[in-house]
A and B are shown apart, each in its own frame.
Chain A
């Protein structure tokens, strides 16, 4: 199975940079996803890493180290609309490639 840990809550200031960490222990690894979920809404896809290194997508970047079982999501130039829950999800290598989700990190951006 999978075990995923991420901080429960974080607070940051508008315009700043914030890093949300995710560590995992897995019996089979086939990629790591980050999703954003605003209150009362469904999760939406942000980024995907399957190889070690940094993937950059505009203000958002995601990093993966498979040997360390570690990923982070980096959000730059924070905006108020970035206040949301950020979910780390590890996909396994079985049929249908199901993912196990962390409990999510609730980020609050303050003016």
Chain B
């Protein structure tokens, strides 16, 4: 079974802090994605990566950056957290054109 893990289930940070969310998948998937999910707004793509060191902006990249130094790991970085970044963050991976496998999610609260 594919396993996608995220570093934290719940995280509380203060405005202005730098936040790292980590995602690791164990099935050698090429493509990895970061989404945020908010009530009434659905899943929105922040960034994605189709290879090591490759990254592309999704629909809402402002305020975020990413890093993919190894194939299995895709990190989402909030350079200076703000209250409007309070959300559920979901990481996913996929092999080629197949379905996405999601991690359990990180519920981030920025105070």
Which B residues form the contact surface with A (CB < 8 A)? 30-31, 33, 35, 40-45, 48-50, 56, 58-59, 90, 94, 96-97, 99-105
Distance of A107 Cα from B30 Cα, bound (Å): 33
Q: How many A residues touch B, CB cutoff 8 Å? A: 23
Jot down 24 A-B pairs with beta carbons below 8 A, ordered by A: A30-B97, A31-B97, A33-B100, A35-B100, A41-B104, A42-B90, A42-B104, A43-B90, A43-B100, A43-B102, A87-B43, A89-B43, A95-B50, A95-B56, A96-B48, A96-B56, A97-B31, A97-B94, A98-B45, A98-B58, A103-B40, A103-B41, A103-B42, A104-B42
Contacts of B58 in A (CB 8 A): 98
Contacts of A33 in B (CB 8 A): 99-100
Distance of A38 Cα from B79 Cα, bound (Å): 31
Interface positions of A from 54 to 111, Cβ below 8 Å from B: 87, 89, 91, 95-104
Contacts of A91 in B (CB 8 A): 97
| Contact for A48 among B30, B99, B102, CB less than 8 A | B99
Distance of A99 Cα from B90 Cα, bound (Å): 14
Q: Is the beta-carbon distance between B31 and A96 smaller than 8 angstroms?
A: yes
Q: Is the beta-carbon distance between A99 and B31 smaller than 8 angstroms?
A: no
Distance of A43 Cα from B92 Cα, bound (Å): 10
